């Protein structure tokens, strides 16, 4: 009988996936199939994308080196902000960028929830052994 414990342990590929998501978020204002002049002229959208992407990337790197629960909670909060940012910052009419940010934010939140669920019952000492 197979053991379905694959998703019960926090693995390093999840941290690498978080770093990839961070890089995609940084690059998202320049993804194809969107109105480039309107987005490039809105510096707040670009600043938000770069800041959120760098935070997701940085937290994923920290999780890879020294895992702690606050990192996973921060990942969830940043993902929720990315979902809400098109509506809060007023670029929800931009079409594909709203879809990109909502989709990427949802994946970030799901990844953070998965990692938090995996590490919920682990002691702080075992969290620090992650990746070794």
Binned average pLDDT, 10 residues per bin, the chain of 132 residues: 55 83 91 60 85 94 78 93 91 80 95 84 60 50
pLDDT of residue 106: 97
pLDDT of residue 76: 95
pLDDT of residue 82: 95
SS (H, E, C) the chain: CCCCCCCCCCCHHHHHHHHHHHHHHHHHHHCCCCCHHHHHHCHHHHHHHHHHHHHHHHHHHHHHHCCCHHHHHHHHHHHHHHHHHHHHCCCHHHCHHHHHHHHHHHHHHHHHHHHHHHCCCCCHHHHHCCCC
pLDDT of residue 38: 55
């Amino acid at each position: 009988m197979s053991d379905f414990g694959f998703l019960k342990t926090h693995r390093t590929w999840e941290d690498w996936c978080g770093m990839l998501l961070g890089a995609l978020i940084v690059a998202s204002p320049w993804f194809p199939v969107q109105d480039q002049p309107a987005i490039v002229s809105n510096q707040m959208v670009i600043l938000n994308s770069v800041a959120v992407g760098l935070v997701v990337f940085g937290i994923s790197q920290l999780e890879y080196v020294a895992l702690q629960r606050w990192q996973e909670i921060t990942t969830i909060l940043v993902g929720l902000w990315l979902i809400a940012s098109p509506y809060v910052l007023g670029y929800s009419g931009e079409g594909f960028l709203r879809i990109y940010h909502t989709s990427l934010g949802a994946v970030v939140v799901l990844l953070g929830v998965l990692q938090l669920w995996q590490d919920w019952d682990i002691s702080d000492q075992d969290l620090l052994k992650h990746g070794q």
